[in-house]
Structure 1
Amino acid sequence: MNKLSKGLPGIALLVLLTTHLQAQAGDTLQLWVDGICGMCKDRIEDAVYQVPGVAFADWDVASRTLTITQSPEPLDENQLHQQIASVGHDTRRIKATDDAYEALHGCCKYRDAAIVAQHEGGKLKEEEHHDHLHGYVYERGKGQKRIPLVGANVRWLGSPEGAVTNADGFFELEGADEYGQLIVSYVGFATDTVTINQEGTVQLVLADAVNLNTVEVTRRRRSTEVSFIDPVKVQRIGEDELAKAACCNLSESFETTPSVDVGFTDAVTGTRQIQMLGLASPYVQITRENMPDVRGLASMHGMEYTPGAWIDGIMLNMGTGSVVNGYEAIAGQINVELHKPEEGERLYLNLFANAMQRFEGNLSLRHSLSKNAHTGLLLHGKHQKGRFDQNGDGFLDNPLSEALIGVHRWRFMGKNGWMGQFGIKGTLLESTGGQFDFERGQSEDTDLWGSTHDARRAEAWVKVGKVFPNRPYASMGLQLSGNIHHQESTFGNRSYDGDQESFYANWIYKTIITDTRHQIKTGASWQWDHYDEVFEGRVFDRIESVPGVFGEYTWTGREDFTLVAGLRADYHNLFGAFVTPRLHLKYNFSETAVLRAIAGRGQRTANILIEQIGAMASNRNFIIEGGDSNLPYGLEQEIAWNFGLNYAQEFIWGGRQALLSLDAYHTRFQQQIVADFDAHPQALFFYNLDGNSFSNSLQAQLDYELFTRFDVRLAYRFNDVRVDYRSEQLQKPLIARNRAFLNTAYETESGWAFDATLNWQGQKRLPNTTANPEEYQLEATSPDFFLLSGQITKSWKDGLFELYLGGENLLNFRQDNPILGSNDPFGNYFDASMVWGPIFGRNLYAGMRYKIQ
């Protein structure tokens, strides 16, 4: 590990230098917000999440206290008050309008004395309510301790009327003589049904629906949540969801998320790529805390640079997103939030090892220098040196690799509404693959085929924000980031070297037009990139400079309808001026049913070499048919329109809460660079699209608690991805048209957790190889197959210490002959890029997590 070890002093110096710098710290803010129940809690928190600068929000029913943790963006406290009032809730500063208040659900009328009396019914005398059921709802604490469950919704099965527990967990419900089964639920949490066959006061600790005076049920928040208020469907994937699998880096963080497919680019390098809506990861805009992250020359390997143990949460939405974040998103957006310096555990340690002799360590440290200044340090190390060849083809099933990654960051809150953030990141990574006995650095006249990959990357970012106290509806923020990226790769006799220098600036100003029903964001951005690539002695060098301006209007004049319309105009130094329109519509049929529509345009410059780096692990001749020497690779930019519909419905099924989500998306390319693997098996052609290219994606997903603490997630997705090649229109290769998904998760009260995920992937079309000799030909399609993974976790001390044991590909399914022509890697028919399934068989792993609060 010569290059990596030489870089260690540089990384150490980089971390030490950062201790002399300061920047923003997003602080914790508390507001008093009036409300009365769990429905109020969900409404308030969802409303607050729409305000820029809010990372996390929690409203306590008993104390009426809203606790906000700030994100790197500037946070306008007055805007928080305005946003909360707009959904019908009073704060100390702003009272909700009568119209907004009257639109609240009947049980949420906190100004109504009768409703308040109902919520405070624990103070009433039992003898005054002969046909009422009285009771208390608890959750189990440590030992036998019972904790009042505040804001739980209680209603009779078959009755539309309900009650909500007060600060003591007390509720009062009419109809005790008429009904017999009681449904206890909490918005965003588990639901259970209880059979009541007694008079007087019942105590519900909510678990199994049995005929007892005391029934036990555990309150649990979903590990993946979808808001019913946000105009864009955003899946919030939390740490609990990520902990269900090994999740060693970002590319491995979607094993339990049916919206994203994970595969490999080739059978040699071990590079993972994701797919969304049937399109590869370069069509997905991936940001870190709303700033560009995985793009350019890092578009294929960049997800490996974010360890899973660093991730605090992932925000995922399909289709085009906000114009504030740029014009590049086509298939979707993924925003990653890392552990914050100002909140969470002071120390978090994660250690991991698997059967491939892959060892990883992750350390997260944070320290508050003062109330308004915080710092954090994230460190990651990886070592994998085990050689395995389970299929006997003479090639390593997984490359040997080592990595060292570090982040140091600061946040501060200044005076007069100023706040800021500063951070740096360094990445060193190297891997070696190829034939089993290949050694890095061996003489060039060897007859062994090998592959090497070295990446060195340095990043820095600054965020500064300003809230205007005299104009509570206005705020502004400035985002700056830059990176230097260098990588060197070899594939047998081939070599690829790539350098990228990038700078990004984004200025955002937010205000209102007349009142909070009309909100607008405006700003300007600049993206600058210098690319210098050398592939097989051919030089590809270019500079892209793209200044732009944008505006986004949000209308919330009705509680059940929201409109977000955005438009940006950019000027590309190579491709000229262009505009990017985007529209999001949301209509709530009720508080538990929402329909969303999306339409928008995306545009991007394809980095064709790095995006097809898997094909370099073959002897295909790269043929680029570009006609304009002034354009990157002589080819046009890619332009696509995306249209989508999403319907989400929460409902009670069998006395338990369920969530159904239906998605339909159509992506149509106006311009695209076609990577044609079918024209000839010894060549890969690149040319501008002449005809149609589109993707249709349909998905249905059901989340349901089958029984107490046992969650089930079912999903089915259909992808129809077609491209007009020069020969004919074909399904895009190596993409499954059908996929089914089952995830189960069970937790016990004693700290055990059991998770299992079963994936079925349908057939995939394989590129045409009929021109090869018969022994080097592939079938027209791959077989369908199942993948099973599972994990067992045991936690102690409220999750501060955990041990986990798991396995991937437990059914031990492997692709037969993943490398075409492996017996002659320097021959014409060698091709390791035709990967449609797993290469490594059953893989067991174990690890531990340790936290200090």
Structure 2
Amino acid sequence: MAFIVKGAAQSVKVIDSADAKPIPHATVSLGRDGVKTSEQGIASSNSWLGKELRISAVGYATKFLRIEAGENLVALVKQPTALDPVVVSGTLKPVLRSKSPIAVSLISGTQFKKIASNTVFDALQLVNGVRPQVNCNVCNTGDIRINGMDGPYTLVLIDGMPLISSLGAVYGLTNIPASLVDRIELVKGPASSLYGSEAMGGVINIITKTAAKAPKLFTELNSNSWGETSLEWAVKTKLSTNLNLLTGMNTFLFNNRIDKNGDGFTDLSQQKRAAVFTKLNGLKSQFLVRYMYEDRWGGQTNWSKTWRGSDSIYAESIYTSRLEVLGDHQFSTKLPLKLSGSYVMHKQNSFYGTTSFIASQQTGFLQLVSNKTGKRFDYLLGTAVRFNGYDDNTLLTKDSSTGKSIPTQDFIPGAFAQLEWRPTEALTLLAGARMDYHPVHGWVFTPRFAGKWNINELNTVRFSTGMGFRTVQVFTEDHAALTGARKVEFKEALKPERSTNISLQYTKTWSTNWGWWEWESNFWYSIFSNKIIPDYTTDANKIIYANNQEGVYSKGISTSLETAPIPELRFNMGVTLQDIYQNKNDRRERLMFTEAWSVNAGLSYYLNKQFTFDYSCWGYGGMRLPLQNNLDPRPAYSKPYSIHNIQISYKARKGVEFYSGIRNLFNWTPAIETPFLIARANDPFDKQVSWDPGGQPLATPNNPYALTFDPNYVFAPNQGVRIYAGCRISIN
């Protein structure tokens, strides 16, 4: 495919190769001086004769043309660019990001390398409006927050399958190796009309590498000054012309008891983790199996396993065993059909001090989807069924009369439909709806409506509105309920949460003689009903759970800029402003652990073909934190903070790369901002606490602030500066 440039000796006309239409706003440049083409695709100058010009436009391959007397001919080919990759998460079908009516954010696998991230959890720091949240100062469990909403509101998928949820979400996010990931797609806002429960706040879809595109051999080893060491490897085997097998292993070891803030507790949990996986890719099918085992603990630095579950030395010790199986097949029929399925077995054996939590969960998912693309209409029809089997040793699954465990077993069938209509070339409209049947809560209906308007080739507006829902399992989702530091109290039978959202996005892309640029701005407004908010403040000894009946609101705006002004430099920056609050007792109250603003930025500079310099940073505004009482000396709000990282990479030869860098360059930790993080770290079993007749702690000489042990005052990782180095080897 090509297009022809015709005109005067010193003029250029740019047209599309496919339909011969003029391309406005293309850049015709000589050195650093450039001229934009008109609406008719024409640009001219008096100084071009005999010179070689650079012609570029967003979405087209750049070409060079030497201007001569008479007609000038050039061929350009339309192609996807870094701005316009293929995504699947917004509509359940592959589509160029620019064509999707649903806004989709993207992290490519190459971006993981910019911070030498070992896990998906760390890499998501790079996304505007997304914050990995550490939920415990002892065991360092975490979740992913989109636009400030709690981690359980984010549905995490692997290759489109809901593998990370409920029990698995507590520690599962930190054990997905970056080496297995091809890209990560994010959809902000409710997506329950396609994905069902848990997709209230957004969707994170982790797309794993295909065996066909993987190198024959890949291995990576890195370590840092804290003693964290990771080793990954993968081998590809070509079984036949269209059948490839990728097999690999990931190990992570951290066994260094560091206590730099001097509270007697480990600053970072000790971890021993190993995972093996195999992925089979055919022409129309894929199959992935992964098994992971982890031994993790955090607590007093003199703890050993002989003290597990005792009341002498405190620690939180968690053994996790997890099996994941997923696959899909595209049928060769007149009616396009895709069958997808997954199975997850997750077992956890844990002690939080003297509180044991032994739990197992099995999740099965089966989905059949049909989609067809027409000139003006695309449709997608699907049906799905989900099985949740769960058992633990808490009151949640016990028969109150016999005391025996009664595992829960739920089948949740559902059906969904989506219609995409393009009434004009500039306008795309999408309507979708889903109906699920929950055995406890009955029928649940979730609609969605969205649209995309191309104002012109460079400016696009997207809008969407929709509903989301989720059912809640407190003990599997809220780590604070398990620590044993506070008693759990339910004021009522918890109802399923619902959300309604509206969002608007504006995107502008353009190219100049200074490269390509993309600017994006988003606005959102969400209302949550029946939201379950843990109450830490009414009683210092309790976490009280109830449905909020007065309304919870999330609103905000974000903007981001990404550019490559010169071939050697790539830069991105994002800013998010948000307001997340609840109405409680007729007054407005900001939610715990939500920041009013966040920023992130990244810069990559290619010094030459061998050396690359990377800089990244992220920062967050103050967050409201859980204090125990009015005497608690810790700040009620954290202070703003930022984390900065640098890295140098060296490509020694083809397929061999060395890198070294510094994480948390300025050695910031949350301990700097507060007199202590863990309340009563010197008395984790509250043996020296005095109590009043009502069961509340008393202020005494050895407990002047009337506190009890509590590790939940946490808003950032308590890990300071560390220097790291590593090596990657890739053989194709």
Q: Scaled by the length of structure 1, what TM-score is found?
A: 0.73
For residues 111 and 125 of structure 2, what CA distance do their matches in structure 1 show? 10
Match of 1:759 in 2: 618
Q: Could you report, residue by residue, the CA deviation over 1:512-559 in whole angstroms, capped at 9, with x for unpaired residues? A: 5xx431121112110110111223897484222211111111112322
Paired residue type of 1:426: Y
For residues 824 and 189 of structure 1, what CA distance do their matches in structure 2 show? 65
For residues 614 and 596 of structure 1, what CA distance do their matches in structure 2 show? 38
Q: Could you report, residue by residue, the CA deviation over 1:601-625 in whole angstroms, capped at 9, with x for unpaired residues? A: 1111122122221453462221122
Output aligned runs, 1:577-656, within 5 Å: 577-614=443-480, 616-617=482-483, 619-626=485-492, 634-652=493-511, 655-656=514-515
The 1:276–1:444 alpha-carbon spacing in structure 2 relative to 1, beyond 3 Å, is: closer
Match of 1:782 in 2: 638
Match of 2:149 in 1: 279
Match of 1:265 in 2: 135
The 1:115–1:661 alpha-carbon spacing in structure 2 relative to 1, beyond 3 Å, is: closer
Match of 1:669 in 2: 528
For residues 181 and 257 of structure 1, what CA distance do their matches in structure 2 show? 39
Output aligned runs, 1:420-819, within 5 Å: 420-442=285-307, 447-468=312-333, 471=334, 474-511=335-372, 515-535=374-394, 539=398, 541-614=407-480, 616-617=482-483, 619-626=485-492, 634-652=493-511, 655-725=514-584, 728-771=587-630, 774=631, 776-798=632-654, 800-816=655-671, 817-819=676-678
Paired residue type of 1:108: D
2:226 is aligned, of 339, 356, 361, to 356
Where does the alignment leave 5 or more consecutive residues of structure 1 unmatched? Answer: 1-33, 39-104, 120-132, 138-153, 164-171, 202-218, 414-418, 627-633
Q: Could you report, residue by residue, the CA deviation over 1:572-595 in whole angstroms, capped at 9, with x for unpaired residues? A: 111001211011210111122111
More off after superposition, 386-395 vs 459-468 = 459-468
Paired residue type of 1:236: L
Q: Report the CA distance between 1:244 and its aligned residue.
A: 0.7
The 1:245–1:443 alpha-carbon spacing in structure 2 relative to 1, beyond 3 Å, is: closer
1:829 is aligned, of 708, 718, 722, to 708
Contact residue 59 and residue 84 of structure 2 kept, 8 A: no
Paired residue type of 1:160: S
* Number of equivalent positions: 672
Q: Could you report, residue by residue, the CA deviation over 1:140-180 in whole angstroms, capped at 9, with x for unpaired residues? A: xxxxxxxxxxxxxx9942552798xxxxxxxx974234899
Across the aligned residues of Structure 1 and Structure 2, the Cα RMSD in angstroms comes to: 3.3
More off after superposition, 351-360 vs 174-183 = 174-183
Q: Could you report, residue by residue, the CA deviation over 1:59-88 in whole angstroms, capped at 9, with x for unpaired residues? A: xxxxxxxxxxxxxxxxxxxxxxxxxxxxxx
Contact residue 703 and residue 712 of structure 1 kept, 8 A: yes
1:345 is aligned, of 215, 234, 256, to 215
Match of 2:718 in 1: 839
Match of 1:253 in 2: 123
Report the 3-state secondary structure (helix = DSSP H, G, I; strand = E; otherwise coil) of the residue aligned with 2:125: coil
- 1:235 aligned to 2:105? yes
For residues 368 and 424 of structure 1, what CA distance do their matches in structure 2 show? 18
Match of 2:702 in 1: none
Q: Report the CA distance between 1:439 and its aligned residue.
A: 0.8
Q: Scaled by the length of structure 2, what TM-score is found?
A: 0.85
The 1:583–1:37 alpha-carbon spacing in structure 2 relative to 1, beyond 3 Å, is: farther
Contact residue 290 and residue 325 of structure 1 kept, 8 A: no
Contact residue 461 and residue 506 of structure 2 kept, 8 A: yes
For residues 200 and 801 of structure 1, what CA distance do their matches in structure 2 show? 49
Q: Report the CA distance between 1:379 and its aligned residue.
A: 1.2
For residues 262 and 4 of structure 2, what CA distance do their matches in structure 1 show? 62
Q: Report the CA distance between 1:665 and its aligned residue.
A: 1.2
For residues 741 and 708 of structure 1, what CA distance do their matches in structure 2 show? 22
Contact residue 363 and residue 379 of structure 1 kept, 8 A: yes
Q: Could you report, residue by residue, the CA deviation over 1:13-44 in whole angstroms, capped at 9, with x for unpaired residues? A: xxxxxxxxxxxxxxxxxxxxx45499xxxxxx
1:107 is aligned, of 15, 19, 35, to 15
For residues 370 and 752 of structure 1, what CA distance do their matches in structure 2 show? 38
Contact residue 339 and residue 368 of structure 2 kept, 8 A: yes
The 1:526–1:155 alpha-carbon spacing in structure 2 relative to 1, beyond 3 Å, is: farther
Paired residue type of 1:296: S
The 1:810–1:188 alpha-carbon spacing in structure 2 relative to 1, beyond 3 Å, is: farther
For residues 189 and 387 of structure 1, what CA distance do their matches in structure 2 show? 54
For residues 459 and 794 of structure 1, what CA distance do their matches in structure 2 show? 36
The 1:221–1:502 alpha-carbon spacing in structure 2 relative to 1, beyond 3 Å, is: closer
For residues 57 and 612 of structure 2, what CA distance do their matches in structure 1 show? 22
Q: Report the CA distance between 1:366 and its aligned residue.
A: 1.6
Q: Report the CA distance between 1:355 and its aligned residue.
A: 1.8
Q: Report the CA distance between 1:421 and its aligned residue.
A: 2.7
Q: Could you report, residue by residue, the CA deviation over 1:630-649 in whole angstroms, capped at 9, with x for unpaired residues? A: xxxx3111111121111110
1:187 is aligned, of 50, 55, 58, to 58
Report the 3-state secondary structure (helix = DSSP H, G, I; strand = E; otherwise coil) of the residue aligned with 1:788: strand
For residues 670 and 223 of structure 2, what CA distance do their matches in structure 1 show? 24
Q: Which has the higher helix share?
A: 1
For residues 188 and 818 of structure 1, what CA distance do their matches in structure 2 show? 51
Contact residue 157 and residue 182 of structure 1 kept, 8 A: no
The 1:339–1:482 alpha-carbon spacing in structure 2 relative to 1, beyond 3 Å, is: same
For residues 190 and 784 of structure 1, what CA distance do their matches in structure 2 show? 43
For residues 443 and 555 of structure 1, what CA distance do their matches in structure 2 show? 60
Q: Could you report, residue by residue, the CA deviation over 1:621-672 in whole angstroms, capped at 9, with x for unpaired residues? A: 211223xxxxxxx311111112111111013578443211101111211222
Q: Report the CA distance between 1:692 and its aligned residue.
A: 0.7
The 1:750–1:841 alpha-carbon spacing in structure 2 relative to 1, beyond 3 Å, is: same
For residues 311 and 467 of structure 1, what CA distance do their matches in structure 2 show? 28
For residues 185 and 443 of structure 1, what CA distance do their matches in structure 2 show? 64
For residues 605 and 688 of structure 1, what CA distance do their matches in structure 2 show? 12
Paired residue type of 2:443: A
Match of 2:697 in 1: none
Q: Report the CA distance between 1:111 and its aligned residue.
A: 6.2
Q: Could you report, residue by residue, the CA deviation over 1:715-742 in whole angstroms, capped at 9, with x for unpaired residues? A: 2111211123458431011211112223
For residues 394 and 525 of structure 1, what CA distance do their matches in structure 2 show? 50
For residues 252 and 421 of structure 2, what CA distance do their matches in structure 1 show? 48
For residues 158 and 372 of structure 1, what CA distance do their matches in structure 2 show? 45
Identity among equivalent positions (%) equals 21
For residues 245 and 184 of structure 1, what CA distance do their matches in structure 2 show? 34
Contact residue 185 and residue 657 of structure 1 kept, 8 A: no
Report the 3-state secondary structure (helix = DSSP H, G, I; strand = E; otherwise coil) of the residue aligned with 2:15: helix
- 1:323 aligned to 2:183? no
Match of 2:8 in 1: none
For residues 297 and 430 of structure 1, what CA distance do their matches in structure 2 show? 16
Contact residue 231 and residue 250 of structure 2 kept, 8 A: yes
